[in-house]
Amino acid sequence: MSFSDTDTRDSEFILRTNGLSKKLCKNLKLSLRYGLSDIGKKLLGGKVSDELRPKEFWALQDVSFDLRKGECMAILGRNGAGKSTLLRLIAGILQADHGEIDLRGTAKGIVSLGVGFDPFLTARENVFVNAALLGFTTREIDRVYNDIVRFAELSEFMDTPVRYFSSGMHVRLGYAIVAQLRPDVLLVDEVLAVGDEGFKKKCLGRIRQHTDYGAVMFVSHEMDLIREVATSCLLLHKGKSIGVYDDVDEGIRVFEEDIMEVSPS
């Protein structure tokens, strides 16, 4: 997706979203039925209605922001605010119902623990499969394979099926793949919360390095971590954007004092 208009400052941005909206369904069978119905309408040249059907809700609604090279944006919000949905849209895992994404390069990351891993394949095999799913070539993977193994600190387990891996080992392998392949926009969900402290520090160092040539978006509920690495905060509440705060402390204050005090109902 891209914008039809131009801006003299476009070259400054790696990522820009405009009015991004996504509907989801609480029922899997209904979700599949709605999806097939919508695909059929589009193939026949019809238009999908904006009306919410039974069990549907707006996971994201009219979210807009800009992300520049060198920036590290934290996404704050209560559970169900739309944080992971936003990352999935940017990563191309989900398609938006409305709005536009202008991405100047690649956006890859860990947006869910173990996504792309086949539990019956070894860690070595999963490195190549997962990296290929992220859009990287075999040559690119060969070039950084040893770096991936070193970063993950799993050299003795690379011939072990990942079904025997702990959640922390999954995170190590998944993050190592993405970090070494260096997308333009690195996306990281709350999955780093299950890693050990030593690995977290290593990941934070890589995030800082990443902003030398790209940008980072990450979801976290650890305010100290956000203060340490974020250059801005995007606040979401019930799928809607409260705003982007260049003052990270102010963004955290609004989140803790205003959003967290709002009743979930």
pLDDT, tens only, 99-118: 999 999 888 877 665 566 89
pLDDT of 7 above 50: no
How far CA 191 is from CA of 16, 110, 117, in Å, comes to 24, 8, 15
pLDDT above 90: residue 43: no
**For residue 195, what pLDDT band results from cuts at 50, 70 and 90?**
low
Structural domains of the chain ordered from first start: 10-105+184-259 (3.40.50.300)
Which DSSP helix (H) or strand (E) runs through 64?
strand 56-68
Q: What percent of the chain has pLDDT over 70?
A: 90
User: C-alpha angle 199/87/142, rounded to 5°?
Assistant: 55
Element (H, E) at 148: helix 138-152
Q: Is the pLDDT of residue 211 over 70?
A: yes
Q: Which stretches of 153-258 are DSSP H helices?
A: 167-181, 197-210, 223-229, 248-254
Q: What would the mean pLDDT of 19-23 be, rounded to a whole number?
A: 95
- The pLDDT mean for the chain works out to 86
Helical spans, DSSP H, in 23-137: 28-43, 83-91, 123-133
Question: Looking at residue 112, what is its pLDDT?
Answer: 63
Q: What pLDDT shows up at residue 113?
A: 57
Region 39-50 average pLDDT? 82
> What CA–CA distances, in Å, run from 216 to 193, 228, 238?
17, 14, 23
Tell me the CA distances in angstroms from 180 to 36, 80, 173, 216, 223, one per residue in order. Answer: 37, 30, 11, 14, 26
**Mean pLDDT, rounded, for 10-28:** 88
